[in-house]
Structure 1
Amino acid sequence: MSARRALVVRGGWAGHSPVEATDLFLPFLESHGFVVRVEESNEVYADEAVMEEVDLVVQSVTMSEISREASRGLRKAVERGTGLAGWHGGIADSYRNDADYLQLIGGQFATHPSKHPDRCGGDETDNFLPYTVDLTELGRGHEITAGIEDFTLDTEQYWVLHDDLIDVLATTTHPVQPYHPWHRPITSPAVWTRLWGAGRVFVATPGHSLEVLRDDSVRTIIERGMLWASRTESA
């Protein structure tokens, strides 16, 4: 059997350390039989010859922009069976102005609520909150999250806008606080999958920092998610 091919595309906002973050997972992919190609530009998506050979795309590109040709190329590849996987802003907060990409992913970062204003000091930790990632009933039996218990993190808690075509494996709930304007708790997907054409999409919202990515539960979910999404695993 020929080796599987993974394409790692990284870039965008430097605050998510896209190079260092993706480097954490390259040895895992290689140890599971992937030949890995790393690109620093999403324009590779527009290369149909390259994308036809890719079994898995791992993307870490926060915000940024994407050309019409690259966006179309990514969507076509997934529709043909290429898997797409990622975490945090590298997949759930990419290409905000591209509606087709947002539809492909099925969930989009809206905000990460902050601490009480009196506790904010003007740096990224203003948005670090202790919160729980709760496995859903589906998640407790899914191969990506089976055997993982609910776990807690102290980092950005993503509030995600989403549609009903995602299969939610884990959620997180934003509580009501007197210094925030909403009036009842809001539950957002924290880990989800999506079937798109012949392809599979995997998203995990934890992953703001290398420390979070090294958390045993987060790391395991991402590693399993990449394997699940891969074309060969999907076949």
Structure 2
Amino acid sequence: MADTIIAELQDSVLQLTIHNPERKNAFTQAMYASLAEQLEQAAINPAVRVVLLSGHGGIFTSGNDLDDFKKAPAELSSSSSPTVRFMMALANFPKPVVAAVEGVAVGIGTTLLLHCDLVYAHPDTRFCMPFVNLGLSPEYGSSLLLPRLAGNVKAAELLMLGEMFSAQDAQQAAIINTVVEQPLALAKVQCAKLTQKAPAALRHTKALLKAPLQQSLEQVMAQELQLFSQGLQGEEFTEAVTAFFEKRAADFSRFS
């Protein structure tokens, strides 16, 4: 059980734990496929009222496993891609999703939080959306959702500089709800509360909250995926990944 998703259903809460300890819980294509399957089934399973996302061992996720991710870049823009299946399953999930974040939340580890309903993070958590550092553009609707939450100036800072930022900054940018010493414990308390609410009313409330941006989000995500997929096949990404594995700074000076 190296890279996997641990699924536990208890008291109507499906906890999905990201588990890849050798890579700081980085996502592989197999893990995306597992998450997609779990979410797709949970959406139609009346025994599941709430989904809780967490990371194993005090780490949420370090983003994509680059060694795994670079093997199949051409598949990313396809609806059958495990990554895209997961993205759509979470973005369209009709029931409440709560996330408990610790350690690091890098790349999609941060952007997936934009599609959760309640998010709690440890004070020492570090967030990052380093897409430009990898020669890539934003993904998962972040170019639409983040400016709406944080404002254009803050969104530009986070997406264009691609630097680490704190849990306090994430809260100020409205990416998370609360900074708390025991995020998983609080997340479980909130999940328990949600399971006691009228389920149809919760689904309708979530749908209404998402409705104004839904069409725009679908269009933006499609455009982002196209550009992201192109970027994965480009020289800038090749240089970034080569530099990563050579443990040096990427040199983009020859690109225009």
TM-score (norm 1): 0.34
Specify which structure has the bigger relative contact order, considering alpha-carbon pairs within 8 angstroms and separated by 6 or more residues: 1
**Counting strand residues as a fraction of each chain, which structure ranks higher?**
1
**Counting helix residues as a fraction of each chain, which structure ranks higher?**
2
